[in-house]
Each structure stands twice: as C-alpha cells, then as structure tokens.
Amino acid sequence: MMSQRLLLVSPVYNEASYLELVARAVAAQTRRPDRWVIVDDGSTDRTPEILRELAAALDFVEVVTVARSPVKDGAKDKLAVAADARSFMLGVEHGDWRAFTHVAKLDGDTELPPGYFERILDEFERDPELGLAGGVYADPDPSGRGDGWKVMRVPTDHHVPGTLKCYSAACFASIDGIQERLGWDTIDETYARMRGYRTRSFPDLVTRHHRPAATADGTLRGRARHGQCAYIAHFTPTWVGLRAFKVARLPPRGLSGAAFLYGYASAAAHRVQRVQDDEFRAFVHRELRGRMLGALRPRAASSAGRIMVGRKRAEA
C-alpha cells in the first residue's frame, strides 16, 4: 500500500488577524502535511508579509499569489463568486495533487487541535470507503459561557464543513475536484456519495473557527447565501421550509430564517443556474426523503411508546 502523503491547500484573503495562529497549529501537528500550498487571493492587509515569513520559517510551505477574484455587478459577497473554491483548485493543481494520497482544505481562520491530521488519516486507513472527512468547528461564543467557544451543530453522518475538508485522492478524482461555484461544499459531498464513498465529520475532533460562519459579508447575507446554495443543489421546498424553521432560531432570531427563505426564493425567481445533472437531482431528492423520514421515525416510535405505556396503566 502506498504510504499516505497529504497535500494541504489554504485559500486566504485578508487573514492577518488569524493566519499566524492557524500556521502555528499546523506546524504543531503530530502529523504535518507533506506540502502546504497557501493561495493568497490578492490580500490588501498584512497577509502577504505574514506569508513570506511563514514560507521562510516552514520548509513545507509554499505561497502562491493570484489576482483578486472578480466580483460581479458590484456585489460585496466574495463567496457568491466562489473565490474560495477557485483559489483552492488553483492551489490543488499547483501542488501536483496526483502525487498525494489525500488532499485537504483548511481556511485561514480555522485553528486545528494538535492531532488533527493524524486522526483524520487514521480514519481513512480504517475505512476504505471513506472518501471525504473532517472535524467539526466551534465559533466564538459571545455569551461568555464555558470556555468561550460554542461547537456548531452539523449533520456529522454526511456533512463535512467547508472550512476543513479532507478527500482521498481517489474520491477527489472521481468527483473531478470541486466546482468553482456557490454551493460547492454541498455539491462535492453529494457527488462523493453518488460515486460510492462515505462522507462524514467526527464530532469529537473540534477545531476553532475564529471568524463565525456566514459573517464575512454580514450574517443575514450569509443566511441568504445558504438559501441560494440550497436552491442550486436542488433541495426541495419542503426541506427548505423545515430548514428555515431551524435557522430562524439562530441569531438574529427570526430574521435568519427569513433571510434563508429569501435566498432560496430569490435564486428561484432569478432562475439561478442549478446543478445541470438529472442523476444528481434525483439522488438529492432520494437522500432528502430518507432524512426526513428518518427524522420522523423516532418521534413516531416515541409516540407509540407513550400510547403503550398509557394502555398498560389503564389496564392496571
């Protein structure tokens, strides 16, 4: 068996506030990446200076600077034009990913625990069907409770957060990398499962995400963007309605759910291009039906249990 070789790629833009902290965490890994390509997408803060220092200090780091991704129609939302995905794929190709067994993505604001990569690679070794894996992340907790961090809930049985994905090279090849478009971090894992790979996150492997999710361009803009992603990925209106109800409980309460629904409805009204693949659409719909039925079964079983208990008490 080929020994494991890990390529790490980090797309960054104006990450001066966190980049040194993130780099120290990567350098302190019990199992370092074999190569770390950091792609600077035209930063205007101290990021380029920090990157030069990192490249001089760490022999496995290589910095690539590219022209800033264009922003269409004067929009402020850099994620809406998939700058992150574009820079990642540039770094992947620059890093000659085919010479590695695994390809990982790490954003410039996400701090890893010391044994992160060792654990992830062990999981791939343990499960040959695992194609895409990662940990979970904690955002700063403004309430000040506990240690000041709040672990964000994600469906760990199938979803891997976009800030810290790791692919087996075979899986990455089978899905032809990631698509340079909004929604890429849902499209990639869906295609991975379509190709027969398992995708999952490990809830005990907690990273620190220093910039809270969906806040780079404003929280409500981020919620709307997630709604657009749901439309692009062919998520059904029923699922979107249920999801909006859950999102509405996130701050700002109520408005978050409304923004999510607005993003979905706006994308539909403007006929935003969805994934043009009938097999993909059918697969997504089957998965969503299965998840919704799975969510209802425990409630049905619980209700049946209460009914049986009531009957027994009545008989007694």
Lowest-confidence region among 34-48, 184-198, 241-255:
241-255
Most confident of 58-72, 144-158, 244-258: 244-258
Evaluate whether 159 touches 213 at the Cβ level (below 8 Å).
no
Return phi, psi of residue 29, to 5°. Answer: -60, 140
Q: How confident is the model at residue 211 (pLDDT cuts 50, 70, 90)?
A: confident
> Rounded mean pLDDT of the chain?
89
Give the per-residue pLDDT at 32.
98
Q: Does 215 score more than 80 pLDDT?
A: no
Instruction: With cut-offs at 50, 70 and 90, classify the pLDDT of residue 219.
Output: confident
Mean pLDDT in residue range 139-154: 86
pLDDT value, residue 313: 41
Instruction: For residue 197, give Cα distances in angstroms to 134, 138, 153, 193.
Output: 14, 26, 23, 5
pLDDT of residue 308: 41
Q: Which pLDDT tens digit goes with each residue over 71-105? A: 544 444 554 557 999 999 999 999 999 999 999 99
- Specify the DSSP class assigned to residue 211: S
The DSSP call for residue 303 is H
Do 25 and 120 meet the contact criterion of CB atoms below 8 Å apart? no
pLDDT more than 90, % of the chain = 79
Cα three-residue angle 54-55-60, rounded to 5 degrees:
105
Phi and psi at 223, nearest 5°, equal -65, -40
Q: What is the mean pLDDT of residues 56-64?
A: 97
Per-residue confidence band for 217, with pLDDT thresholds at 50, 70 and 90 = low
pTM, 2 dp:
0.88
User: Whole-angstrom Cα distance, residue 265 to residue 262?
Assistant: 5
Q: Which strand (E) or helix (H) includes residue 148? A: none
Name the more confident of 286 and 145: 286
Instruction: Give the Cα separation of 122 and 120 in Å (integer).
Output: 5
Strand partners, 65: 40
207 Cβ contact list (under 8 Å, min separation 6): 110, 111, 112, 113, 116, 135, 136, 137, 138, 163, 164
Please check the confidence at residue 314 and state whether its pLDDT lies above 60: no
305 pLDDT above the threshold of 60: no
Q: Which whole-number Å values give the CA distances from 13 to 40, 89, 243, in the listed order?
A: 6, 15, 30
pLDDT value of position 239 = 93
- For 260-273, the pLDDT digits (tens) are 999 999 999 999 99
Greater confidence (77 vs 163) lies with 163
Give which of 211, 247, 254 is closest to 227, Cα–Cα.
247
Rounded average pLDDT over 30-52 = 97
Domains along the sequence of the chain with CATH: 6-209 (3.90.550.10), 219-316 (no CATH)
Average pLDDT over residues 264-290: 97
**What's the confidence (pLDDT) of residue 316?**
44
